[in-house]
Amino acid sequence: MKHVLFIATGGTLACRQSENGLIPALTGEDLLTFLPELSTLCTITIENLFSIDSTDVTTAHRVQMAELIFREYANYDGFIISHGTDTLSHTAALLYHMLRGIDKPVLLTGAQKPIGVPDSDAERNLLDTFRVIAAGYRGVAAVVHGRIIRGNHLVKVDCEDMDPFRSINAPVEGTIAPDGTVHLCPQTPVSRPFELIPVKDTRIFVLRLIPGLDPAVFSMLSGYQHVIIEGYGSGGIPVYLETGLKALIEQGTNVYITTECLSGSVDLTKYAVGCRAAALGAVSLGSHTIADTVASILCGTLTDEP
Ligand code: ASP
């Protein structure tokens, strides 16, 4: 039987109603009492790391999760993190980049409804996560609504539906049928040693292009080392913003271009508006999601990853 470290951090699945709305209230021990069948799947140690809405999860909290897993790596066959769904993609992406060369499962899950309430997705998602560990998955991924999604491709696309996540620009890594049967896609062997990549640079800003954006905005961004522009379609910069962009790049800020589209790749060679941006020094983010880009900039690994 696999030995799993279950790390509880809060989120809706651990919430109870208060007079001020849903608030995380259940411990890891409380959560697991809803899943008696777990005793046949894994042996479990529980770590109540924190109990917060994922809105309040900071980079420091995420680093704490990565450090805990790194420290305990040899003692467990796998790690499960229960987490709020709202920022789960950011945690998954940062753990994916920080836990480089990991050869054990680190699985995150959350739910749209608290555990124990009618029609909650929490029980299934939590149980599936343990099933995926028992089936032998390796790497950092989210397990939600019957899908295994790699940590750097996860995006939350719906804040109400029970199927809120998608794997963007990559196929899912596997599925879990409603009867609990896990199907894992073939995984490539890990080719680098396991190491903990530290967070290096937090001076990141994401700017969304909107029609009529004031060009003066670029002069306000000079304190940031990295600016990600979420632009239109395949990428490009409107001509009236070029002067501001050029000045920002010339004073030393790294500027990257991604797209407001949910999937597909930025290609700055496709249109003249993109070629102009590239000539000014803006860098295409290709098919990376925002969460993945932010995490890889934080870890200084942006240029290393495919
Ligand atoms: N606000 C909640 C959180 O992210 C939402 C959820 O868990 O679904 O913690």
Catalytic site positions: 12
Q: Cα–Cα distances in Å, from 237 out to 117, 243, 286?
A: 48, 10, 15
Helices 59-72 & 88-98 angle (0-180, nearest 10): 50
**pLDDT score, position 305:** 47
Q: Which two tokens stand for residue 9?
A: 């951090």
Q: Which atom of ligand 1 is found nearest the CA of 164?
A: 8
Parallel, antiparallel, or unpaired for β 42-52 and 2-10? parallel
Could you say which DSSP state residue 60 is in? H
Q: Which residues line ligand 1 (CB under 6 A)?
A: 11-12, 53-55, 84-86, 110, 112
**pLDDT score, position 20:** 96
The 10s digit of each residue's pLDDT in 260-280 is 999 999 999 999 999 999 999
The answer to whether the CB of 132 falls within 8 A of the CB of 148 is: yes
Q: How far is the CA of 85 from the centre of ligand 1 (A)?
A: 5
Q: Which atom of ligand 1 is found nearest the CA of 86?
A: 4
The answer to whether the CB of 85 falls within 8 A of the CB of 24 is: no
Q: Cα–Cα distances in Å, from 35 out to 40, 89, 122, 140, 168?
A: 11, 25, 10, 23, 30
Residue whose Cα lies nearest atom 3 of ligand 1: it is 84
Mutate to test the pocket of ligand 1, among 15, 16, 53 (most ligand atoms within 8 A of CB): 53
The answer to whether the CB of 209 falls within 8 A of the CB of 73 is: no
Q: Residue 80: phi, psi to the nearest 5?
A: -125, 135
Q: Which atom of ligand 1 is found nearest the CA of 11?
A: 9
Q: Which atom of ligand 1 is found nearest the CA of 87?
A: 4
Mutate to test the pocket of ligand 1, among 15, 23, 54 (most ligand atoms within 8 A of CB): 54
Q: How far is the CA of 265 from the centre of ligand 1 (A)?
A: 29
pLDDT classification of 202: cutoffs 50, 70, 90 = confident
What ranges make up the beta strands (E) of the chain? 2-10, 15-18, 21-24, 42-52, 78-82, 99-100, 105-109, 139-144, 147-150, 154-156, 165-167, 174-176, 182-184, 195-196, 204-208, 226-231, 254-259, 283-284
| 165 three-class SS | strand
Q: Could you tell me the pTM of the whole model?
A: 0.96
The 10s digit of each residue's pLDDT in 279-306 is 999 999 999 999 999 999 999 988 644 4
Residue that is written with structure tokens 């304190």 in the block = 223
Is the predicted pLDDT of residue 68 greater than 70, yes or no? yes
**pLDDT score, position 201:** 81
**pLDDT score, position 11:** 98
Q: How far is the CA of 210 from the centre of ligand 1 (A)?
A: 28
The answer to whether the CB of 106 falls within 8 A of the CB of 69 is: yes
**What span, in angstroms and rounded, lies between the C-alpha atoms of 120 and 166?**
19
Q: Taking Cα atoms as reference points, which of 92, 109, 112, 96 lies closest to residue 143?
A: 109
Mean pLDDT of the chain: 96
Q: How far is the CA of 56 from the centre of ligand 1 (A)?
A: 10
